[in-house]
Amino acid sequence: MIKPYGSQELNPLFVYAVGQHHILQKEAEQLPSLLLNSAAAANAVMLGAGYFNPLSGYMDLADSISVAETMRTQSGLFWPIPCVNLSQDASAIKNARRIALRDPNLAGHPVLAIQEVQAIERVHRQHLEQMAEAVFRTLDPAHPGVATFLSLGDHLISGPIEVLNFSYFHQDFPDTFRSAVEIRNEIREHGWNTVVAFQTRNPMHRAHEELCKMAKAAVQADGVLIHMLLGKLKPGDIPAAVRDAAIRKMVELYFPPNTVMVTGYGFDMLYAGPREAILHAIFRQNAGCTHLIVGRDHAGVGDYYGPFDAQVIFREQVPQGALQIRIFEADNTAYSRKLNKVVMMRDAPDHQADDFVTLSGTKVRATLAAGQPLPPEFARPEVAEILGAYYRSQD
């Protein structure tokens, strides 16, 4: 199986040993506490699940700035986006050597992890903006990633962590949430050697379905990992539970048995475009995948990135040999009226715009909310029904 990123073995930071877990839980009740924001909590979950391998915890200011500006830590590890624990107020943990990190997303704020505090640094607004502009390529406050990052706080708490639970993800998505460890184990159980991953924060329509099938055939994969983001999104995005149901129905009806794993991971969407695409590749290599589909406007939002910038960054800015996972570069996919099938637009140079069935996200939402069917060329009827029921419920 493909090696995890940055190490010979996957080193998740979740404490699996029952005895040690119990000891740390008891210790946590006596420690000074820090209530995390959702972004820092998501980072803890990803560290615990092994997706952030080989990181051992939250970065300090020097590493954070270095990663933002050069995509390398000070020790030389290639990494695309700072992994930070930023807080508005660190007064409750002043001078503490170990602290309990509490979950903002669950009632009662249970302990999510224990952190060894290496430093608490005050971050100037200039440094926050410097990092945000490097990662997101903009400081526009309308960009959801920029707005979130600049609101997290100006106290940076760095140091290694030991993770004690996976927040709400196990509870809310017991059939879907998987750690990188669990996905590797399932790939072994399937006997798959070549696995292509599909990242999604949206429901999957006909074009997405066919793209997975095209990529699987092109790289001669044994299976497909449909890996959906289960954390926080921007307003207007479809909730994870609805996406999960729609994707599972599509896989059940339209893929051969035992060729697809439907899973999810506990992270908040960053909307960092090209930088986030690299992070997505690291996640999937750590989960045991050999290929990642990167298509148009991968992890993008609005018009902040060029349509294929997330492919270009792998060719121009990822050091040779840094990643073992390979990128499957996908073009726009759409249903061709001339050919009566879904195609990549680059493979149909004789087509005009009217030869394709395409719908904007706004048009899709308006159509479903009105109780009208989506064109069968665009969405499977069973998927459209699940999405339509959701939109009607919002009215």
- The answer to whether position 5 is within a domain reads no
Domain assignment present for 221: yes
pLDDT > 70 fraction of the chain, expressed in percent and rounded: 99
The whole domain housing 304 covers 183-265+273-394
Same domain, 95 and 233: no
Contact assessment for residue 74 and residue 63, using Cβ atoms and an 8 Å cutoff = yes
Q: What is the CATH number of the domain that holds 59?
A: 3.10.400.10
Do 241 and 113 reside in the same domain of the chain? no
pLDDT at 361: 63
Residues contacting 189, CB < 8 A, separation 6+: none
- The confidence score (pLDDT) of residue 360 equals 64
Neighbouring CB atoms inside 10 A of 144's CB total 19
* Domain shared by 201 and 96, yes or no: no
State residue 377's pLDDT score: 85
Listed range (157-166, 304-313, 362-371, 375-384) with the worst mean pLDDT: 362-371
Claim to verify: residue 230 and residue 150 sit in the same structural domain: no
Do 153 and 216 lie in one domain? The reply is no
Is 40 in the same domain as 81?
Answer: yes
CB distance 14 to 49 below 8 Å: yes
Q: Is residue 203 scored above 90 in pLDDT?
A: no
Would residue 36 count as lying in a domain?
yes
Which of 89-98, 177-186, 305-314, 341-350 is least confident? 341-350
Mean pLDDT of 282-305: 95
Query: What is the pLDDT of the chain when averaged over all its residues?
Result: 94
Query: pTM of the predicted model, to two decimals?
Result: 0.94
Per-residue pLDDT band for 362 (boundaries 50, 70, 90) equals low
Q: Is the peptide bond before 203 cis (omega within 30 degrees of 0)?
A: no
CATH number of the domain bearing residue 324: 3.40.50.620
Number of domains in the chain: 2
Contact 324, 3 (CB under 8 A): yes
**Of 107, 142, 167, which residue is a domain's last?**
167
Contact 299, 267 (CB under 8 A): no
Task: Give the torsion through C-alpha atoms of 285, 329, 345, 377, to 10 deg.
Answer: 0
- Tell me the catalytic residues: 201-202
For residue 233, being part of any structural domain is answered with yes
pLDDT single digits (tens) 222-262: 999 999 999 887 777 788 889 999 999 999 999 999 999 99
Are 87 and 191 found together in one domain?
no
Q: Tell me, what's the pLDDT at 149?
A: 98
Checking if the pLDDT of 286 tops 70, the result is yes
- Looking at the structure, do residues 113 and 146 belong to the same domain, yes or no? yes
Domain boundary among 137, 167, 197: 167
Local structure of 198: helix, strand or coil: strand
Domain boundary among 140, 167, 194: 167
Q: Does one domain contain both 254 and 355? A: yes
pLDDT tier, 359 (very low <50, low <70, confident <90, very high otherwise): low
Contact between residue 158 and residue 58 where contact means Cβ atoms under 8 Å apart = yes
Q: Does any domain span residue 111? A: yes
CA distances for 305 relative to 126, 299, 313, angstroms = 23, 10, 11
| pLDDT greater than 90 at residue 346 | no
- Phi-psi region at 302: left, alpha or beta (left = phi > 0; alpha = psi -120 to 50): left
Q: Which of 41-45, 49-53, 156-160, 243-247 has the lowest mean pLDDT?
A: 243-247
Q: Is residue 121 within 8 Å of 158, Cβ to Cβ? A: yes
In a domain, 114, yes or no: yes
What pLDDT is recorded for position 246?
93
Q: What pLDDT, on the 0 to 100 scale, is given for residue 332?
A: 84
* 279 and 200, same domain (yes or no): yes
- How long, in residues, is the chain? 395
Q: What is the pLDDT of residue 52?
A: 98
pLDDT at 370: 80
What pLDDT does residue 201 have? Answer: 86
Separate counts of helices (H) and strands (E) for the chain: 13, 15
What average pLDDT does this structure show over 143-164?
98
Average pLDDT over residues 126-140: 98
**CB-CB contact of 82 with 43 (8 Å):** no
For residues 126 and 193, membership in a common domain is answered with no
pLDDT, one tens digit per residue, over 175-202 is: 999 999 999 999 999 999 999 999 998 8
User: Greater confidence, 136 or 355?
Assistant: 136
Instruction: Please give the helix or strand (H or E) that residue 262 lies within, else none.
Output: strand 260-265
Least confident of 38-47, 106-115, 321-330, 368-377: 368-377
Q: Are residues 157 and 253 in the same domain?
A: no
Provide the pLDDT for residue 375: 86
Pure H helices in 255-316: 274-286, 309-316
